Structure 1
Amino acid sequence: MQKSSKSLNPLPYADFRSDTATAPTPDMFAAMMKSSLGDDVYNEDDSVKALERYVATLCGHEAALYCSSGTMTNQLAHRVHLSNPPQSAIVDIRSHVFNYEAGGISFHSQAAVYPIMPANGQYLTVEDIAPRLVFDVDVHYAPTRVISLENTLNGTIMPIEEIVRIRELTLEHGIKLHLDGARLWHASIATGISMREYCSHFDTISLCLSKGVGAPIGSILVGKEDTIKKARHFRLLFGGGWRQAGFLAEAALFCIKTNWPTMENTHRQARWLERAFRQVGCRITNPVDTNMVWVDTTDAGFGVDVLMAELAKEDIKISGSGFNARVVLHYQISDEVIGKFIDVLHKLASLPRMKVAVDLTRKSMREQPSGIYKSDDESPPSSPAPCALPSPKKLPLEDPENPRSKDSTDPEVATSPLPDKAVFEEKDLSSKKPHCFFEGEEQEKDSDGLVTPPTLPLGAIRRKDQWPLPNSFSSPSAFLKGADRPVSAYGALSSGGSLEEVGNAQKEQDESTVRRTQSLDIVETMRQQTAFDKGADKSLGAEAKKMNKLQYRLSHNPASKALKRASGRIVRWGSLLSRES
């Protein structure tokens, strides 16, 4: 069957977009060569009449009418049933007659249309329909004249038991029952229920010959003799009469006899493809009863656009957008093509980073799960505060098991000059201990509690004249960068001062450091606040300009001017009438 299926596709690509995408085959052309050449408008073409008799007998009805499209056969059926306004039709909200026929029921038949979403999400039931029936008892409402069903709908089969229940409801209230059976061929093969059994519960049935069995063109309407006679009249009114249609009818009859039995293999391929989609993490959104696979690729980590691009490299076409796709199989799809399709799915599923990319498109930054962050103390990103102040840099803690010693043999420690960058330690500001030391140095204290540089012996402390005076600071930023040094207690000690003087110098140094730190914090705060205010002023200025521009346009609008003039006249006339009265 794989070999046969492959050989029947004359196209250079495999088309999964719809089962209407099948192309005529050489055998089909050979059948078309045997057609009659009569005029169907005069009902004189033997090939067309043969097709109509065959399908009417197959469905157990009296007559049939061959038309150019399923939209035409559906609209003809509703037009025949809806002949006396006011009137209404009940349809499935997902049905073809409601969504894809340009509002034809309302236009052609002058009827209100009441769509219903099935409670079970798959097919309409009596419980869905009965409460919504409108009876001819109140002139404010359009009574229900037709109930329109579809089988299959999105590839899902409507159970015959529910069809029987709805038919009993329509007979009880004198309502017509129409079936859009474009793919009823598939339901019959999948369930084993004959076309005659299905069609016996409906007044009219539309059967598609293109998407159903792969004919080049056409659909056929089945019903009673008088119904089909009236529909033929409306077909001409709609502009649907055609002349030498015999060669198309021969092709359609050939497809019913040849392609219809192959649908069992098509259903097998659909289930095969469904399993492959599930294996790569896709979600199937509708039951795969026949030849359609409705899929959501979100959980698989790739979009339909990516899937379409990869399949195009294998000469495969599908339809869809975002993360949702509909894959439709037909008799010209081979097992070899299904294998290529599945290989592409596994290739996309094996790519890294795709799942994260999908998560980022589906969720905002604040809604991302904590599992995507590296550690527990990390949190989802959030917008920064407009005036967040930088905190002082902290000195890295020394390793307690390997502290740096003042007599270290490390040449960088023993011979390096004092560092160039001053860093502030966050401690209690009321403490007497020094708050300024140098990055990379360890604090060493003498017997009096004074801090000495660890890299120099006590006798090698710099003299007071080697330290810059406070007035030598070039700028606050220079102080922070450590380009200039504040006077310290070391200068007082090296110049021979007493311990009291050294303590006072140390205290003065601490207070000076605190004052400078606080001053710089205030300067930085004011700088950032100024920048923020400038941005806010710009934003407010832009909003003000927009409002002024809008007010100017409103005030100079011709309608506004006319309203102002009219208001003035009213005021003048009012004052005049008041004076005269």
Structure 2
Amino acid sequence: MIDLRSDTVTKPTDKMRQASLEAEVGDDVYEEDPTIKELEAKAAEVTGKEAALFVTSGTQGNQLAVLTHTKPGQEIILEEDAHIYKFEGAAISALAGVQPRPIKGTKGAMNPEDLEAAIRPDDIHFPETGMIGLENTHNQSGGTILPFENMKEIYEVARRNQVPVHLDGARLFNASVASGISVQTYASYTDTVQFCLSKGLGAPVGSIIAGSKDFIQRARKWRKRLGGGLRQAGIIAAPGIVALTDMVDRLTEDHKNAKKLAEGLDRLDGLTVENDVETNIIVLNVKGTPYTASEFVERLKEKGVLAGAIGPDSIRLVTHLDVTSEDIETVLKLIKGII
């Protein structure tokens, strides 16, 4: 099967498997796992933050940020299609006791003026604004890169109003490789940042949250409360070190394959690529075919290609390290046959 459902489906490389086998381990709840410490130190260096924390998933990293930055009864401002708002099971309300304040954006980017207007004044009737959340790349906009100037302007608004900024950077390395702007530069306009090791970087599990030493120490306690305190976790951290060392530059291949696939699909009657393909995600509209998105996904599966329906007429296709240029040619031929 050619699996284009997500970049989460990648298999660990041989080097990652070997790193797991040879990893030196200890009890990370006691902060005694040397491999975890090495990964966290490397992640802090890459992001330019004082400290970092290994977490089980991007969702856990985002929730730790909300729990650590905010207090129950506060509000967090997010773009209306943000992952934290739409795809994390209302955890911000269930766990942190905060409510979302969604703002309509353009390709995932909030207007700084709209955002500043949404920050609550000191009034007994209103919740306090506890956090501003950004997402880069923006998943629901098809892997769109958040404009750097937009990030800077929002950070300036946040500073004026003394509100912390958290970046859901699940695919931040995709944004960095595609834009030429370093991860550290992006992260400098945030208070905290989360990024996934288990998406484009290819590690089998895990994410990182980075920020100040004080923030990470408080987040570590929240991680324990959520059941995220791990023991001999170096076995799963070792592939993360390989991911940060070896797997960043090759993201360019995924972006090239995504553009190649998008260009080929756009040439086929009845199909329209809905997004500007900037990184590794394509949103394909099949309304011009005899099929709904779900039916089209089933036809693809019959032909040996996995994809995901994200709407009545829309399908998401994601390139990653296990999808080759030859696979792209095969997919285009199969889709041409279907329509």
1:180 aligns with 2:165: no
Paired residue secondary structure (1:41): helix
Paired residue secondary structure (2:95): helix
For residue 121 of structure 1, report the CA deviation from its aligned partner.
Answer: 4.4
1:88 aligns with 2:75: yes
Paired residue secondary structure (2:54): strand
Match in the other structure for 2:132: 147
1:235 aligns with 2:223: yes
In 2 relative to 1, CA 87–22 (structure 1 residues): closer, same or farther, beyond 3 Å?
same
Match in the other structure for 1:125: 111
For residue 81 of structure 1, report the CA deviation from its aligned partner.
Answer: 0.7
1:348 aligns with 2:338: yes
1:249 aligns with 2:237: yes
Of 325, 330, 333, which aligns to 1:335? Answer: 325
> Based on CA coordinates, which of the two structures has the bigger radius of gyration?
1
Contact kept in structure 1, 2:200 and 2:251, CA below 8 Å: no
Contact kept in structure 2, 1:78 and 1:109, CA below 8 Å: yes
CA distance, structure 2, for counterparts of residue 301 and residue 314 of structure 1:
17
For residue 325 of structure 1, report the CA deviation from its aligned partner.
Answer: 0.3
Paired residue secondary structure (1:186): helix
Give the letter for the 1:311 counterpart: L
CA distance, structure 1, for counterparts of residue 275 and residue 101 of structure 2:
24
CA distance, structure 2, for counterparts of residue 172 and residue 262 of structure 1:
39
CA distance, structure 1, for counterparts of residue 302 and residue 125 of structure 2:
59
Contact kept in structure 2, 1:213 and 1:255, CA below 8 Å: yes
For residue 306 of structure 1, report the CA deviation from its aligned partner.
Answer: 4.5
CA distance, structure 2, for counterparts of residue 287 and residue 128 of structure 1:
24
CA distance, structure 1, for counterparts of residue 335 and residue 304 of structure 2:
15
Give the letter for the 1:115 counterpart: P
CA distance, structure 2, for counterparts of residue 322 and residue 297 of structure 1:
9
Of 50, 55, 66, which aligns to 1:62? Answer: 50
Contact kept in structure 1, 2:2 and 2:327, CA below 8 Å: yes
- Report which structure shows greater RCO (CA 8 Å, sep ≥6): 2
1:432-454 Cα distance to aligned partner (Å, 9 max, x none):
xxxxxxxxxxxxxxxxxxxxxxx
Match in the other structure for 1:97: 84
For residue 33 of structure 1, report the CA deviation from its aligned partner.
Answer: 1.5
- Give the total of aligned pairs: 334
Match in the other structure for 2:265: 277
Of 106, 122, 141, which aligns to 2:93? Answer: 106
1:319 aligns with 2:308: yes
Paired residue secondary structure (1:294): strand
1:526-566 Cα distance to aligned partner (Å, 9 max, x none):
xxxxxxxxxxxxxxxxxxxxxxxxxxxxxxxxxxxxxxxxx
For residue 301 of structure 1, report the CA deviation from its aligned partner.
Answer: 4.3
CA distance, structure 2, for counterparts of residue 188 and residue 94 of structure 1:
21
Paired residue secondary structure (2:181): coil
For residue 241 of structure 1, report the CA deviation from its aligned partner.
Answer: 0.3
Question: What percentage of residue pairs aligned between the two structures are identical?
Answer: 35
Give the letter for the 1:298 counterpart: K
For residue 300 of structure 1, report the CA deviation from its aligned partner.
Answer: 4.0
Structure 1: any 5+ residue segments left out of the alignment?
1-12, 350-581
CA distance, structure 2, for counterparts of residue 123 and residue 212 of structure 1:
22
Give the letter for the 1:177 counterpart: V
1:138-162 Cα distance to aligned partner (Å, 9 max, x none):
1000021210010011200011101
Contact kept in structure 2, 1:181 and 1:205, CA below 8 Å: yes
1:30 aligns with 2:30: no
Give the letter for the 2:282 counterpart: V
For residue 14 of structure 1, report the CA deviation from its aligned partner.
Answer: 1.9
1:267 aligns with 2:252: no
Give the letter for the 1:342 counterpart: L
Q: Bigger CA drift: 123-132 or 286-295?
A: 123-132
CA distance, structure 2, for counterparts of residue 104 and residue 122 of structure 1:
21
Give the letter for the 1:130 counterpart: E
For residue 305 of structure 1, report the CA deviation from its aligned partner.
Answer: 4.0
Match in the other structure for 2:192: 204
Match in the other structure for 1:430: none
Match in the other structure for 2:60: 72
For residue 318 of structure 1, report the CA deviation from its aligned partner.
Answer: 0.7
For residue 25 of structure 1, report the CA deviation from its aligned partner.
Answer: 2.9
Match in the other structure for 2:3: 15
Q: How does 1:556-567 map to 2 (within 5 A)?
A: none
Match in the other structure for 1:395: none
Contact kept in structure 1, 2:62 and 2:84, CA below 8 Å: yes
Paired residue secondary structure (1:145): strand
Contact kept in structure 2, 1:182 and 1:212, CA below 8 Å: no
CA distance, structure 2, for counterparts of residue 121 and residue 231 of structure 1:
30
Match in the other structure for 1:297: 286
For residue 128 of structure 1, report the CA deviation from its aligned partner.
Answer: 2.5
Contact kept in structure 2, 1:314 and 1:340, CA below 8 Å: no
CA distance, structure 2, for counterparts of residue 80 and residue 260 of structure 1:
29
CA RMSD of aligned residues (A): 1.4
For residue 27 of structure 1, report the CA deviation from its aligned partner.
Answer: 2.3
Structure 2: any 5+ residue segments left out of the alignment?
none
CA distance, structure 1, for counterparts of residue 237 and residue 132 of structure 2:
30
Of 19, 27, 36, which aligns to 1:39? Answer: 27
1:221-250 Cα distance to aligned partner (Å, 9 max, x none):
000000000000111111110101001110
CA distance, structure 2, for counterparts of residue 242 and residue 14 of structure 1:
33
CA distance, structure 1, for counterparts of residue 77 and residue 171 of structure 2:
20
Contact kept in structure 1, 2:280 and 2:319, CA below 8 Å: yes
Give the letter for the 1:283 counterpart: T
Paired residue secondary structure (2:195): strand
TM-score of the aligned structures, taking structure 1 as reference length: 0.56
CA distance, structure 2, for counterparts of residue 125 and residue 190 of structure 1:
23
